[in-house]
Amino acid sequence: MDPEIDARRALSHLRYHDPELGLLIDRVGPFGLSLSGEATLFAALAEAIVYQQLSPKAAATIFARFCALFPGAPSCPTPEQVLEASIEQLRSAGLSGAKQRALDDLARRVVDGEVPTLAQTREMDDETIVERLTAVRGIGRWTAEMFLIFTLGRPDVLPADDYGLRRGFQVTFRTQTVPTRDEVLRRGDRWSPYRSIASWYLWRALEVAA
């Protein structure tokens, strides 16, 4: 999370404005979100695309194979390398056709300057970033929000469409059914400006319940 964010102040705010969430915070313990170490926007978004709709273990395996296709790259291939690769090469890493096409579109837009650099996104507001990134094939609001939280460390993002977060909400607030996006957003108003921190704790709720 952004080093300028005072975790103690954030947790105090969340406990004060939502005592039930405060009980979850006490059960989970210290806030421990770690930011992605990717050095470029392309690397961060390429990883996010690969991870879509897969278990973390399966996604990590495929992403490692994808990176291994380009042994000269420092950690993740460059957009230029992806554009030079054949469809067969990319698919051999285990990428679906949809993800291969999304990576190709992302790489092309980065090369053409249609997608901001990582440095440029640090100067943009959250909604502008979401708007710019969701123009890329295969990147929806959820992926853009994951980028905001886990790459930029933005403190006030609430991915209300995330099923794991909504299940954590159900367990924490003991709702009979999994809440809708609107229900999550309504309760989330009381967590602002630290909705990313609240989200991290809601993702942990199922682990604590288990």
Overall domain count for the chain? 2
pLDDT digits (tens, 9 = 90+) for 44-68: 899 989 988 888 889 999 999 999 9
Closest CA relative to residue 163, chosen from 197, 134, 206, 210: 206
Q: Is residue 48, in this structure, part of any structural domain at all?
A: yes
Chain length of the chain: 210
**Which of the listed residues 131, 150, 169 is the one where a domain comes to its end?**
150
Q: Is residue 1, in this structure, part of any structural domain at all?
A: no
pLDDT digits (tens, 9 = 90+) for 107-164: 999 999 999 999 999 999 999 999 999 999 999 999 999 999 999 999 999 999 999 9
- For residue 180, pLDDT beyond 90: yes
Are 99 and 114 members of one domain? yes
Q: What percent of the chain has pLDDT over 70?
A: 96
The contacts of residue 102 (CB under 8 Å, 6+ apart) are 49, 136, 137, 138, 139
Q: Is residue 2, in this structure, part of any structural domain at all?
A: no
Closest CA relative to residue 132, chosen from 147, 114, 120: 114
Are 138 and 202 members of one domain? no
Are 78 and 45 members of one domain? yes
The model carries a pTM of: 0.88
Determine the pLDDT at residue 5: 64
- The enclosing domain of 90 has a CATH number of 1.10.340.30
Range of the domain at 51: 41-150
Are 144 and 172 members of one domain? no
Closest CA relative to residue 158, chosen from 179, 134, 187: 187
Which residues are known to be catalytic? 162
